A = this chain, B = another copy of it.
Amino acid sequence: MANGFETEDDDDRGLISDRIRNALTDEIAAGTLAAGAALDEQQLADRFGASRTPVREALRQLAAGGLVELRARRGGVVARMTPERIMDMFETVAEIEAVCVRLATYRMTPLERSRLIELHEFSRPIVESGDVDAYDSFNRQFHETIYHATHNGFLAEQAIAIRNRLNAFRRTQLRQGERLSRSRDEHEAIMQAIAEGDGEMASRRMRAHMLNAATSLSRFIEANKPA
């Protein structure tokens, strides 16, 4: 891809507690660890061939990130996500993204603008190929570029953190090819508002864009829900 972005998955080496945290994050994201599942410290320690100490630190970090709920002296469980809460999270992401794109519209440098345009153009062949994984990767870059263009490092961090947190819970990628072209059309509309320097318009379109993705996913979840 040749654009300075790295996958940053420094797994399987370094701190054991970090390895455990990453592994658990993946398993929660993949759904291997179902929501509400009890997380026995000794059991996890055995599974990872470590002692309880790093397991506990991993659980604390996951709890801080919201993926795990800890109750004092009653152990941890994978955070239980109600459909309402998931929708709340999506709405929050949508609103934050809307804020970001508004600020970015007013503050982005010409370089950042051309970078964004370049990215957007780059997505056209991806949509045509229907490569969902590639589009997912592009999409992340597109949105993160906007975060950074706010020139507000803290806000960008928050946006990324919340987005990742939500990502961990969407166990099923969107496999609907149609969604890709709709997504790109919505990006197009956002790009146009940015080009016109209309931050408010860009903001409204971004909010709609995110909520479209949310309802689309929500419908999918509803159709495949277990009970």
Chain A positions near chain B (C-beta within 8 angstroms): 14-15, 18, 53, 56-57, 60-61, 64-65, 72, 84-85, 88-89, 91-92, 95-96, 98-99, 103, 152-155, 158, 162
Contacts and interface: CB of A to CB of B under 8 A. Distances in A.
B152 A88 contact: yes
Given A64-B64, A99-B95, A85 B153 contact: yes
B155 A95 contact: yes
Identical chains bound together, number: 2
A61 to B, nearest CB: 6
Contacts of A61: 60, 64
11 contacts: A57-B60, A60-B60, A60-B61, A60-B64, A85-B153, A88-B155, A89-B154, A91-B155, A92-B154, A92-B155, A98-B99
A152 B92 contact: yes
Contact of A15 (B18, B56, B65, B72): B72
A65 B153 CA distance: 16
A92 to B, nearest CB: 4
Contacts of A99: 95-96, 98-99
Contacts of A65: 64
A3 to B, nearest CB: 25
B154 A158 contact: no
Nearest to A95: B99
Contacts of A103: 95
Nearest to A60: B60
Nearest to A156: B88
Contacts of A14: 72
Nearest to A85: B154
A18 B155 CA distance: 27
A49 B88 CA distance: 42
* From A14, A60, A103, residue with most partner B Cβ within 10 Å: A60
A156 B88 CA distance: 10
A72 to B, nearest CB: 6
